[in-house]
Amino acid sequence: MQPMSKAYNPSEHESRVWQKWIDANAFHADPDRVLNGDARPYCVLIPPPNVTAALHLGHALNNSIQDILIRAHRMKGYETLWMPGTDHAGIATQTMVDKRLKERGEPAIADYKQKELAGEDGRGQFVSLVQDFKDEFEARITDQLMKMGCSCDWDRQRFTMDDICARAVREAFFQLFKDGLIYRGKRLVNWDPVSQTALADDEVEMEEVDGHFYYLRYPLVKEIEGDPTVPVTWGELATRGYPDADNHPDDEQAWVTVATTRPETYMGDTAVAVNPKDPRAGAVRGMHVMLPIVGRIIPIIEDDYVVLPVKYGGEPGDAKAEMSTGFLKVTPAHDPNDYMIGQRHDLEMINIMAPDASISDQHGWDREERGEGGHVFLGKSREEARELVVKEFNARTVAEGSEGSLLEKMVPHKHSVGHSYRSHVPVEPYLSDQWYCKVTDDRLRGNAQRALTPEQRTEASLQAWPESAPTCPRGTGFQPVSPPSPSSSIPDALTIHQRHLPHWQLGGSTYFVTFRVETGTLSEKERDQVLDACFHFDGDRATIRLVTVMPDHVHMILTPLEHESGGYWPLQDLMHSIKSFTANAINRDRGATGPLWQDEYFDRLLRGQDEFVEKWNYMLMNPVKAELCEQPGEYAWTKRGEPGQRRRGRDGLEARPTRGGVEKGVCSTDGTMHFYPARYAKTYETWHDNLRDWCISRQLWWGHRIPVWSRSGVAPFEQFDQFSDWLFDGLTDGRLHARRRDDEEVTREFLQSGEQLDDLFICFKSEPTLEDIRILEEAGFTQDPDVLDTWFSSALWPLSTMGWPDASAAKDSSGIEDFESLLPAFNPTSVLTTAREIITLWVSRMTMFNRYFLSTNPRGTGFQPVTPPPSSLQDDGLEARPTEENMPGPAPFKDVFIHAMIQDGEGRKMSKSLGNGVDPLDIIDSHGADAMRFTLCQMTTQTQDVRMPVERDESTGKNTSPKFDLGRNLCNKLWNASKFALGMFEKAELKPGLPINPEELTLIDRWMLSRVTEATNKVNTALRNYMFKDYADAIYDLFWRDFCDWYLESIKPTIGDNPEQAAVLRTVFDAILRLMHPVMPFITETLFERFEPLPMREIEGFTFEQTKATDTLCLSGWPTPADELRDEVAEEAYERVRSLVTTIREVRATAQVKPKRQIVLHAGGELAADIARWSPLIETLAGVETVTADEPEGQSASFTFEGAEYRLSNLADALDAGAERDRLEKELATIEKSMAGIKGRLSNPGYVDKAPAHLVEQTRNQLAQLEKDHAATKAALDKLA
RNA sequence: GGGCGAGUAGCUCAGUUGGCUAGAGCGUUCGCCUUACACGCGAAAUGUCGUGGGUUCGAGUCCCUCCUCGCCUACCA
């Protein structure tokens, strides 16, 4: 192997290391190991990036996080699957390709549309161009992910339009269609006039726009003797009690004024609405208005949707009431609210626009037939039409000779208007025929809400969507987590926090509790008594899951239950009961008095499965480790709770006594999804509250074509018999489904008339045969030209990538042998990692679909029949409840982690238009993938977005950020520390040998082992809670601060002839590489290659997780140092060393001692003894040549340590006494300041009386210490004087 | 308008149930090419924790007021 270079150069290693992983097939997941029970599953699905563009820094962050989780779990022995893939992004990709073609001057989509019309398969030709584009970008994205080091299972890469995903889309559409959850509706959609397609609500972006309110006058008319155009005069209104009518001349024609921001839509008005409570309503009842220029006579209707103007009772301050005139123009075909009014009053809908949003009388406005005016507006764009309408109104009056124009006034107004996220033009509410998915159905929306863990749900949501369904007798979709097999390795060491605080606020949680015997041990009989006491309260105040009574301590896992008042039993009360119950009995038998137990330690089990299993394992192994038995099952005082107990929660996981009480039972597939950070659960819930049915059709070519055939506007069809035979055969054998527009049953009678076929929709379960197509075409049917919203296939991602609905077909088409094992092994997945903006749509839709399609019986029984789509856009209130035969499937992931958003230094989004984007590949080139990953990981917290100051490198024209230096520096440090350590091993012999007993090691070694142990715990906790900054900080501090700054510096003089120390260095470095690997895979793997051949001597308690293979670091086991390696004695002692060294260094720095100069420390007594025992730590770290008890001769400097004064000499040839005095005086001031604060606190009677005793005690000790320091420093100062 | 979040050192951010003298990295200052690392080592300086009140023996942390910023959402009368 080559000697190591002076600095780490990532480009020399990254591609080679990557190839090594690929050659080792290291990222390949084996689902059968999960199904055989050989390993627990851990699975992450990549949120498939759009094939429209290369990845940006946000993707880099997201994928780094996923890779960290995946790599850590792989090393922890889980069978891990990270499924990669890309998304076809229908509208975005189609637009991109079109733009590209135009730029190149090649035929673009308009030309292909022409071809298509000419019968030349323009569609097919265009789609194949998009396909080429997709191939190009898919390759680019894949390359980027690989450069970042993403350890995806690349053999399983999917694309949302590949044949496996397509099969899922077709099946899903068919099932939903058959179940009445997909319907056709003529409604207002968000129309993008440039792309000329419908958009879903989430594809519309709101933008602030400076507009105006236009106040338009519509003349009032009434019908007399068949003439509907007779003017109504103010005089007439006045007699009918119209307020203020007498302000106008009696004989003039009256008008009503409407306010609008969109005057150009007035041609589509079909009514004017007024609130029935409006004092003017009675006067105009039954009257009409005449639309100026157009001449249409439309009714005045009454609807309480209309806001009253302030003048007539509207609420002052309400923006609408302030602006309103009380009369509202109603344009059902161009405004969603007007649409609803139109529905209520059965108004005409007149669409006045062409698909490009120009004014047209060819798309629903039969102007000439009606004899209406307004031809001047035809062909005008929306903007032109607005100007023209305003101009025309302004030029006219209500009637000849009237005062004032039809345009009463214009008021500037700022408001936000929906814009297409793709073409950025204002979205037009446009009447059109589209397909909808009825997501408001309880089976979809309701189950998406119920998927959320009750702890994160709001009261309102729990009421609206109560947890449903009886207890679930069969599987839950989770792997059974009955306690793991005894043979599995000892789990992660536990971190137990002492908590004395209000756990009664944390009702319904499961706890891990430990309490110890004050002195002595328990006899066997006494252990029985404790067990009895525990179970005495089981099912009464708590559910006991597992107890193990050791001779000197007790562990238990339990869940407090609700008590009558609605709260939960406080854990303190429970413990008190159990402890006093047993203490009394045992003391009585022993004839003893006094306390038996110490305080308990307890830790809330915040998370379900992993932590539960970890602690469960820990408890089972406890007697084995204490050598009380050989196998976990053999210890007589380990008892599980009664398995048959009703109160046990799902899967024996979190017994979750929920608010209706435990008696109701818990639906095992509800309540499993957790958001991290938890606050996003609320966003998720609220989004569902406002949900409307989802428009799933798009007028595009790039996407999954809608598998529905229909027929309209063609000649009547003669051969009904043959056709209906064919149709009924298809219906009977289930390969197609037919629905009528009005959702009536499809009968033979229905088919009697060829014209009725126009109301028929036929959906095929799989691709229709040529024969089918022939029959359909003869009958005049054509396939729907539209495609599905891209999110429809994205929503199926957890299913489609795993081979649903037909894994054996997926196996055949992909050649992947174990495809059939994927879904059972890995769905539900472990976590979805995504950005904020995706919470709503994607998480929700995946949850809906996963739960729907994996339900025990998604169709038919158990659900109430669903009526055809309601005309209202809102949920119709259907409450179909699942039954036992019809259990919804699991949520597709257990956790949803929402990561931070990356912004530039000014807090703006990174975007192309601002030019503030940073390309991950540029950073990888300049700093290396590991540096980028570490920096991103270190910067991402749960509360703040990531601000990344962007700098432009003028020489390359590329954007970068100085932040990435942090990661690069760390890599370089790691590289050099390795070089140094490897150099050490050339001098210090490493050889295998008997396991090392850590107690026999030197202070510094025991300290280092303790630090690694603690850091490992920190890392485990951080990763479990998705605290990536904490993870980064933990390894940074461990490696740089503890290992490099102190450990390596300390062992320099001793390691050469201390083989045990060499073994510790070897093991510790190994552990550090492993802990760092998830975030910095390339460099750690590179270094591991150099360390791996060196023999490793076992240190007792320092073990590594068992994994599938160990030849590469990425497959090697995670460190699992035993808790016993935490060495408080060593930590405390080394803390004294550090403190002494720091103090001496400070003196050296202030006295300007040359770094190389070796000084003399004058210390006697106990400190001298300590220093001798620690030798040569102080000497090495503080640059001390000799330690002597003698008083210094000549010049010396003094310092205070632990309340005593010591001196240093040989600092320099001549000392600066002034500097020395300054230093001491400053120190004295600091001490005095601290003392004042502490004295103040102690002299406050409230503090001494009310603060916890141990704090007061601590404060007193502090004061005592400070007083000693003060005296010592004072003495030194006096001597100087 | 409604919701969520943020405001802590010059910059970017931590700060678990209220409790040792509020921390880290970068930057700054001083001294160092000291047996790997100047992408480094040693030392130092830097804070009215947005504002004003309240609860408490004790508040960066809990409650209320106000100010500033960000995101989401509603609003085309």
Cβ A189 to strand B below 7 Å = no
> Whole-angstrom Cα distance, residue A977 to residue A975?
6
pLDDT at A855: 78
Which nucleotide has the least CA–C1' distance to A275? B77
Provide, in whole angstroms, the distance separating residue A900's CA from nucleotide B68's C1'.
22
**DSSP class of A114:** H
Which amino acid does the sequence have at A557? I
Give the number of other CB atoms < 10 A from CB of residue A101. 19
Cβ A941 to strand B below 7 Å = yes
pLDDT at A960: 85
The larger pLDDT score, comparing residue A508 to residue A404, is at A404
Cβ A677 to strand B below 7 Å = no
1184-1223 on A, CB < 7 Å from strand B: none
Which nucleotide has the least CA–C1' distance to A214? B77
Q: Find the Cα–Cα–Cα–Cα dihedral A403, A407, A411, A417, rounded to 10°.
A: 170
689-718 on A, CB < 7 Å from strand B: 690
Cβ A837 to strand B below 7 Å = yes
In A442-549, where do the E strands start and end? 510-517, 542-549
Rg (CA), chain A: 39
pLDDT tens digits, A931-940? 999 999 998 8
Mean pLDDT of A8-35: 91
278-307 on A, CB < 7 Å from strand B: 305-307
pLDDT at A699: 86
Which nucleotide has the least CA–C1' distance to A841? B72
> Whole-angstrom Cα distance, residue A1128 to residue A1125?
9
pLDDT at A569: 62
Q: How confident is the model at residue A134 (pLDDT cuts 50, 70, 90)?
A: very high
pLDDT at A301: 92
The larger pLDDT score, comparing residue A1151 to residue A88, is at A88
Which nucleotide has the least CA–C1' distance to A429? B76
Mean pLDDT of A746-769: 79
Provide, in whole angstroms, the distance separating residue A908's CA from nucleotide B70's C1'.
9
> What's the half-sphere exposure (Cβ side, CA atoms, 13 Å) at A661?
9
Q: Is the pLDDT of residue A898 over 50?
A: yes
pLDDT at A137: 92
pLDDT at A477: 24
Provide, in whole angstroms, the distance separating residue A1278's CA from nucleotide B22's C1'.
34
The contacts found for A310-315 with CB under 8 angstroms, 24 or more apart, are A312/A243, A312/A278, A312/A279, A312/A280, A313/A277, A313/A278, A313/A279
Provide, in whole angstroms, the distance separating residue A778's CA from nucleotide B50's C1'.
75
Which nucleotide has the least CA–C1' distance to A1248? B57
pLDDT tens digits, A261-276? 899 999 999 999 998 8
Cβ A1246 to strand B below 7 Å = yes
Residue written as token pair 């908590």: A499
Lowest mean pLDDT among A818-832, A906-920, A1151-1165: A906-920
Which nucleotide has the least CA–C1' distance to A325? B77
Q: Is the pLDDT of residue A885 over 80?
A: no
> Whole-angstrom Cα distance, residue A698 to residue A191?
10
pLDDT at A754: 64
Q: Is the pLDDT of residue A485 over 70?
A: no
pLDDT at A266: 92
Provide, in whole angstroms, the distance separating residue A907's CA from nucleotide B66's C1'.
25
Provide, in whole angstroms, the distance separating residue A460's CA from nucleotide B27's C1'.
50
379-438 on A, CB < 7 Å from strand B: 413, 415-418, 426-429
Nearest residue to B77, CA vs C1'?
A: A324
Cα–chain center distance at A1273: 56
Q: How confident is the model at residue A1068 (pLDDT cuts 50, 70, 90)?
A: very high
Q: In what helix (H) or strand (E) does residue A1122 lie, and over which residues does it extend?
A: none
Provide, in whole angstroms, the distance separating residue A877's CA from nucleotide B16's C1'.
43
CB under 8 Å to A312, separation ≥6 — which residues? Answer: A243, A278, A279, A280, A326
In A32-75, where do the E strands start and end? 41-45
pLDDT at A540: 66
pLDDT at A874: 29
Q: How confident is the model at residue A471 (pLDDT cuts 50, 70, 90)?
A: very low
Lowest mean pLDDT among A326-340, A362-376, A655-669, A800-814: A655-669
Query: Could you check whether the bond before residue A1192 is cis, i.e. omega within 30 degrees of 0?
Result: no
Work out the mean pLDDT of chain A and round it to a whole number.
81
Provide, in whole angstroms, the distance separating residue A579's CA from nucleotide B33's C1'.
65
pLDDT at A1081: 96
Cβ A1150 to strand B below 7 Å = yes
Nearest residue to B17, CA vs C1'?
A: A501
Which nucleotide has the least CA–C1' distance to A1269? B21
Contact A116, A123 (CB under 8 A): yes
84-103 on A, CB < 7 Å from strand B: none
Cβ A501 to strand B below 7 Å = yes
Cβ A936 to strand B below 7 Å = no
Which nucleotide has the least CA–C1' distance to A1033? B24
Set out the domains of chain A in order of their start, with CATH numbers. 210-416 (3.90.740.10), 503-670 (3.30.70.1290), 708-783 (no CATH), 902-962 (no CATH), 964-1074+1085-1099 (1.10.730.10), 1223-1281 (1.10.287)
- Report the helix count and the strand count for chain A, using DSSP H and E: 40, 40
pLDDT at A856: 64
Mean pLDDT of A242-263: 89
pLDDT tens digits, A150-204? 999 999 999 999 999 999 999 999 999 988 889 888 888 888 888 888 887 777 8
Cβ A1240 to strand B below 7 Å = no
**In chain B, which nucleotides are within 7 Å of a protein Cβ?**
1, 3-7, 11-15, 17-21, 24-26, 30-32, 34-44, 56-58, 69-77
A554-567 as b/e: b if 16+ CB within 10 A: bbbbbbbbbeeeee
Q: What is the ipTM of this complex?
A: 0.93
**DSSP class of A817:** T
